[in-house]
């Protein structure tokens, strides 16, 4: 597994990371803990050094899983986690909270759950309109000065928010959705990241599984799978969006690869400072995804795939309305 380095921060990670959310939350029943630990350690054995979690995943249980799995190899890996939500007594999301005092409380709790003395990358999970981003950046700057955090990140933040935060505490990475069927970051976000030397961490680089071809209009999502409420995943929209899956599948046949590998290779080919974090609960899918890092697309193949994708109008919003409102523009 090759490594990628982010701008001026010096943080170096494997070119594919592992998004761990789905092991505990969001895509149906949580994995058995011992199976989750085995999968995370299998990723380490295969060269993955970057693991993504958050306190809200579970809530809390995903950090505990990641912490236990990575404790024996802590010096070999980088762990990213996130703050920024209120979490109620039932462990459910209850709005946003990026007050500096709360950020510091979350950091202390996350350190314990992750079984570590430092968080490699600490993201603001969603921008809180009630707290100036300068105060958020200042709180993380304090945590960095105390040695509890190494790097500051943002998630789903807009250009002005990124610039304002970066002026207080350099931002190491931005995490946002990006894939062949969600390319909005290309217009404004990627140029600013390149200018400022900030890395980019695309989540859902496989379109929440859709680009793999494993999801069709007939798929029935399990209880607890949030795709049940995502507009892009209504039966009607899945039927309309199948054209994108077919396109990726055709390219995959030509390359003697899988659709997932082509989709990941396309993301990796966009910029040398992009590190996607596909998630999975299955070892064979992990190995398939890692094959995407080894798949080389030529410049003309990338261009052809991009131009063909541009002709397909993707149907449906990527979040329900309440979640959509939390995205900072």
Q: What is the pLDDT of residues 304-320, one digit of tens each?
A: 999 999 999 989 898 88
Q: What is the pLDDT of residues 139-158, one digit of tens each?
A: 999 999 999 999 999 999 99
- Answer whether the bond into residue 217 is a cis peptide, omega within 30°: no
Classify each residue of 235-269 as buried b or exposed e, where b means 16 or more C-beta atoms within 10 Å of its C-beta: eebbebbbbbbebbbebbeeeebbbbbbbbbbbbb
Backbone angles phi, psi at 174, to 5 degrees: -110, 135
Q: Which of 94-98, 142-146, 149-153, 219-223 has the lowest mean pLDDT?
A: 219-223
Beta bridge partners of 51: 18, 79
Q: Which has the higher per-residue pLDDT, 191 or 321?
A: 191
Nearest residue to 325 (alpha-carbon basis) of 176, 126, 88: 126
Q: What is the pLDDT of residue 270?
A: 98
Rounded mean pLDDT, 58-87: 97
Mutual angle of helices 283-294 and 33-45, in 10-degree steps: 20
CATH class for the domain made up of 3-208+270-295: alpha beta
Q: What is the pLDDT of residue 227?
A: 92
Is residue 123 part of the annotated active site? The answer reads no
Give yes or no for residue 33 having a pLDDT over 80: yes
Q: What is the pLDDT of residue 223?
A: 86
pTM of the model: 0.96
Rounded mean pLDDT, 64-79: 98
Give yes or no for residue 31 having a pLDDT over 70: yes
Give dist(CA 198, CA 273) in Å, integer.
8
Question: At 158, is the secondary structure helix, strand, or coil?
Answer: coil
Q: What is the pLDDT of residue 329?
A: 66
CB atoms within 10 A of CB 224: 12
Q: What is the pLDDT of residues 249-306, one digit of tens each?
A: 999 999 999 999 999 999 999 999 999 999 999 999 999 999 999 999 999 999 999 9
**Per-domain residue ranges of the chain:** 3-208+270-295
């Amino acid at each position: 597994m090759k490594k990628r380095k982010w701008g001026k921060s010096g943080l170096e990670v494997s070119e594919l990371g592992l998004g761990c959310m789905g092991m505990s939350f969001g895509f149906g029943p949580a994995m058995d803990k011992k199976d989750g630990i085995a999968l995370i350690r299998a990723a380490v054995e295969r060269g993955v050094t970057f693991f993504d979690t958050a306190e809200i995943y579970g809530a809390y249980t995903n950090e505990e899983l990641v912490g236990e799995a990575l404790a024996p190899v802590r010096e070999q890996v980088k762990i990213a986690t996130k703050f920024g939500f209120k979490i109620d007594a039932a462990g459910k999301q209850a709005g946003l909270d990026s007050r500096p005092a709360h950020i510091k409380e979350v950091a202390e709790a996350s350190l314990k759950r992750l079984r570590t003395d430092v968080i490699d990358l600490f993201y603001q999970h969603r921008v809180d309109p009630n707290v100036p981003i300068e105060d958020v950046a200042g709180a993380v700057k304090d945590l960095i000065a105390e040695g509890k955090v190494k790097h500051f990140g943002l998630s789903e933040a807009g250009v002005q928010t990124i610039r304002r935060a970066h002026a207080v505490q350099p931002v190491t990475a931005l995490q946002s959705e990006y894939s062949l069927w969600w390319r909005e970051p290309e217009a404004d976000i990627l140029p600013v990241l390149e200018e400022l030397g900030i890395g980019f961490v695309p989540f859902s680089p496989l379109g929440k599984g859709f680009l793999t071809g494993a999801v069709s209009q007939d798929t029935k999502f399990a209880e607890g799978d949030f795709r049940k409420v995502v507009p892009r995943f209504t039966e009607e929209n899945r039927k309309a969006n199948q054209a994108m899956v077919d396109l990726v599948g055709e390219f995959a046949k030509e390359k003697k690869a899988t659709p997932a590998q082509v989709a990941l290779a396309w993301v990796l080919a966009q910029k040398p400072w992009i590190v996607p974090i596909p998630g999975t609960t299955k070892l064979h899918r992990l190995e398939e995804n890692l094959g995407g890092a080894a798949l080389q697309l030529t410049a003309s193949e990338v261009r052809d795939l991009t131009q063909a994708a541009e002709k397909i109008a993707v149907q449906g919003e990527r979040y329900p309305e309440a979640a959509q409102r939390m995205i900072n523009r």
